[in-house]
Amino acid sequence: MLKTLIFAHRGASGTHPENTMTAFQAALDDGADGIELDVQLTKDRVPVIIHDETVNRTTDGQGWVKDYTYEELKKLDAGGWFHPAFHGAAIPTLEAVLEWLAPTSLLLNIELKNGIVRYPGIEEIVLKLIKKYDVKNRVIISSFNHYSLVEVHRLDPDVETAVLFMEGLYEPWEYAKALGANGLHCFLPVAVPELLAGAAKAMMPVRPFTVNEDQHIRALINGCDAIITDWPEKAVIIRKQCT
């Protein structure tokens, strides 16, 4: 087994406001190998980084992401809800993150959030940006919307994709292969030994989320390809102790 990689979930979201540039920079500073982020589209079809379909929880605004233009959305404060020290942090565009990430060696897991609100064409928009910043070999696109993964694969079979799922599926690597996906991003409780062993045998990478507790990090370090965690700093320390 290769070294288990550490992806910072929504950036270093344990210590910083999720899905903001400050959370991504913190992940890099913490020694994470990659970041995970969530992408949606504004009313004028700008890909932006935010987890929920509404801005209510993580900004000082109200309403659906899809109903904001980017000019309107960028005025919202996406940091103050987490801690006053982060007041003024903005919702980043995917393009801003790619521009920042390109000169680093970070891996990037782009989660397409198009299950609850559908964003037709989001796959093509995201792929164009990946190409523009020449980071294709460092990107994994994941989604709970598996039709979207098939569309990514149709548009560019060279881009790595991963199936997101919450359930205890039987031999999910067979399912992933059937839709042309290259990895399994499963909810932590379903990352059971049978899944880890079977996927390893099938050469299908497994990257469980969200691996935050010390004992879970210890159990999975050296046992899967990557973990997705809110606490990259802690995970990096535990990984050093485990090697």
Q: Which residue among 14, 28, 51, 98 contacts ligand G3P (CB under 6 A)? A: 51
Q: Is 227 in the site for ligand G3P (CB under 6 A)?
A: no
Active-site residue identified among 51, 146, 153, 185? 51
Q: Is 228 in the site for ligand G3P (CB under 6 A)?
A: yes
CB contact at 8 A, 219 and 15:
no
For residue 69, count other CB atoms closer than 10 A to its CB. 12
**What are the strands, taking DSSP E only, across 34-123?**
34-41, 47-49, 107-112
- The least CB distance from residue 142 to ligand G3P, in Å, is 5
Q: Which residue among 185, 205, 226, 234 contacts ligand G3P (CB under 6 A)? A: 185
Nearest residue relative to ligand G3P (C-beta): 209
Distance CA 214, CA 234 (A): 8
Q: What are phi and psi of 237, to 5 degrees?
A: -65, -45
- Closer by beta carbon to ligand G3P, 79 or else 208: 208
Residues in the site for Mg ion, rule: CB under 5 A?
A: 38, 111
Write out the DSSP string of 118-160. --TTHHHHHHHHHHHTT-GGGEEEEES-HHHHHHHHHH-TTSE
- The least CB distance from residue 91 to Mg ion, in Å, is 15
Q: Which residue among 5, 9, 82, 89 contacts ligand G3P (CB under 6 A)? A: 9
SS3 161: strand
Is 87 catalytic? The answer is no
Q: What are the C-alpha distances in Å from 149 to residues 59, 143, 176, 184, 241?
A: 29, 7, 10, 12, 36
Amino acid 12 reads: A
- The least CB distance from residue 36 to Mg ion, in Å, is 6
Q: Is 68 in the site for ligand G3P (CB under 6 A)?
A: no
Burial 96-105 (b: 16+ CB within 10 A, else e): bbbebbeeee
Nearest residue relative to Mg ion (C-beta): 111
- The least CB distance from residue 71 to ligand G3P, in Å, is 26
- The footprint of ligand G3P on residues 128-157 (CB under 6 A) is 142
Is 9 catalytic? The answer is yes
Chain residues binding ligand G3P by CB under 6 A are 9, 36, 38, 51, 111, 142, 164, 185, 209, 228
Residues recognised as catalytic = 9, 51
